[in-house]
Copies of this chain bind each other. A is one copy, B any other.
Amino acid sequence: MENTLPQAVIDEVAEIATRARVAGRVLATLGTQEKDALLCTMADHLVAASAQIVEANQRDLERGRAEGMSVTLQDRLRLDHQRIVQIADALREVAGLPDPVGAVVRGSTLPNGLQLRQIRVPMGVVGMVYEARPNVTVDAAGLAVKSGNAVILRGGSAAADSNVAIVEVLRGALRRRQLPPDAVQTIDALGRDGARALMRARGLVDLLVPRGGAGLIQTVVREAVVPVIETGVGNCHVYVDASADPTQATAIVLNAKTHRPSVCNAAETLLVHADAAPGFLPEALRQLADAGVTIHGDQATQELAPAGINIVPATTEDWATEYLSLDFAVRVVDSLGEAIEHIQTYSSGHTEAICTSDLAAAQDFTAMIDSAAVIVNASTRFTDGGEFGLGAEIGISTQKLHARGPMGLGELTTTKWVVWGSGQIRQ
């Protein structure tokens, strides 16, 4: 499975990462005002260069069409002047966010007089591996700069020309402000081997964040020897308790499934308490079908479906699938405990919601479910850095180490202990 990495690529990525480390040291000591000014310069330069960027983007789109790229992917890839203005505005919003660097997390004066402070500091060099969405190039660079990090970008090859154009503009903004352009670099030109060398650059890359589909994330988690934060796979559940208000539950289920089915916080499985099922499921299934949803149901669901609504028999595989489409697995359970057990078995640990009017059920569900976000009586779609008020988000962590749930600027930092003394030695 694993081909050997050419030494030339390993060496080139090591050189790029070393330049990033040197540039990162400059960014790490910049004040907030300087970083915010840099972000605004980047935004100005992007808008000023929008014609060139759109031209590069057109080349990517033409290549994509020639290679049979789907219309959905073409939509994600497409840039126009208006879209570039929006992307630039997002950078200005990042400039407006609080700076995590320098915050004192905790501190004390020890009995021996040592003054102890745990201070938030940048990671150093952050790698981002993502797919063909050129806006991520700008978002990632912006969040890295604001948190005092250098960034090494590896975008999808389908957006290669767009990314080269964008990175050149961002590096121009760094130069304009007398800052090292190597704080923002791309390794797109090195192809897949470059991406794999980045994943293996232990000691040179402080944090690698993959952002994209399950395949990309699994590849990075499996191959990387640098520290990685796993993001975004969401096999999310909504559980409708016996005590749920059927109207409210239906609205939540519809929203969780259909509001934006292709994203990680969309619901993939509906669990319904057997006592609620007769009064809830027939109407809910009708509304889901009207919204174009294909139901993959267990036996009880099939029996409760109104005439004319087709239910695909669900298999074990359905419980484990993140559809990212208008498909929905539906199962009737006998108890809250059975719902919790189902979720413990199949969830990817992203977001689960309960619809209930029973306090004990809500408390048990939030205590027992071990996911990044556990939601009572609201849509799973709220698990999002913007919605949570964290500002811009670099991804949603589904792992437990370092960061869990939406990752904002703070999650791109680490801490160090700074200790001031006056000659203390250990007794």
A294 adjacent to chain B (CB < 8 Å): no
Residues of B within 8 A of A84 (CB): none
A25→B419 contact, CB < 8 A: no
Within 8 A of B (CB), among A357-413: 362, 366-368, 370-379, 381-383, 387-389, 399-402, 404-405
Residues of B within 8 A of A28 (CB): 370
A416 adjacent to chain B (CB < 8 Å): yes
B370→A425 contact, CB < 8 A: no
A426→B255 contact, CB < 8 A: yes
Residues of B within 8 A of A229 (CB): 401
A interface residues, tally (CB under 8 Å): 65
A114→B382 contact, CB < 8 A: yes
A420→B377 contact, CB < 8 A: yes
A426→B29 contact, CB < 8 A: no
A317-339: contact bitstring with B at CB < 8 Å (1 yes, 0 no)? Answer: 00000000000000000000000
Contact A382 B424, CB 8 Å, known A400-B123, A401-B207, A414-B404: yes
Chain B, residue nearest A344 (CB): B25
A174-217: contact bitstring with B at CB < 8 Å (1 yes, 0 no)? Answer: 00000000000000000000000000000000110000000000
Query: Once the chains are docked, how many angstroms separate the CA of A389 from the CA of B416?
Result: 16
Chain B nearest CB from A254 CB (Å) reads: 8
Chain B, residue nearest A371 (CB): B416
Query: Once the chains are docked, how many angstroms separate the CA of A206 from the CA of B110?
Result: 33
Residues of B within 8 A of A118 (CB): 405
Residues of B within 8 A of A245 (CB): 423
A50-62: contact bitstring with B at CB < 8 Å (1 yes, 0 no)? Answer: 0000000000000
A33 adjacent to chain B (CB < 8 Å): no
A70 adjacent to chain B (CB < 8 Å): no
A425→B379 contact, CB < 8 A: yes
A415 adjacent to chain B (CB < 8 Å): yes
A116 adjacent to chain B (CB < 8 Å): yes
A297 adjacent to chain B (CB < 8 Å): no
Residues of B within 8 A of A124 (CB): 370, 400
Query: Once the chains are docked, how many angstroms separate the CA of A402 from the CA of B221?
Result: 17
A372→B417 contact, CB < 8 A: yes
Copy total for this chain:
2
Chain B nearest CB from A371 CB (Å) reads: 7
Query: Once the chains are docked, how many angstroms separate the CA of A382 from the CA of B375?
Result: 43
Query: Once the chains are docked, how many angstroms separate the CA of A28 from the CA of B367?
Result: 9
Residues of B within 8 A of A221 (CB): 225
A416→B206 contact, CB < 8 A: no
Contact A110 B419, CB 8 Å, known A227-B399, A425-B251: no
Chain B nearest CB from A310 CB (Å) reads: 26
Chain B, residue nearest A21 (CB): B344
Contact A419 B108, CB 8 Å, known A207-B401, A370-B124, A400-B414: no
A401→B401 contact, CB < 8 A: yes
Within 8 A of B (CB), among A226-266: 227, 229, 245, 248, 251-252, 254-256, 259
B423→A377 contact, CB < 8 A: yes
Chain B nearest CB from A222 CB (Å) reads: 7
A206→B400 contact, CB < 8 A: yes
B207→A419 contact, CB < 8 A: no
A422 adjacent to chain B (CB < 8 Å): yes
Chain B nearest CB from A157 CB (Å) reads: 27
A374→B417 contact, CB < 8 A: yes
Chain B, residue nearest A417 (CB): B373
Query: Once the chains are docked, how many angstroms separate the CA of A254 from the CA of B423?
Result: 12
Give me 9 other A-B pairs in contact (C-beta within 8 A), A245-B423, A379-B424 excluded: A25-B368, A124-B370, A124-B400, A221-B225, A373-B418, A374-B416, A374-B418, A401-B402, A404-B417
What are 6 inter-chain pairs, A to B, with CB distance below 8 A? A118-B405, A371-B416, A373-B418, A373-B419, A374-B419, A382-B424
Q: Closest 6 CB pairs between A and B? A: A378-B421, A255-B425, A381-B426, A400-B414, A402-B402, A378-B424
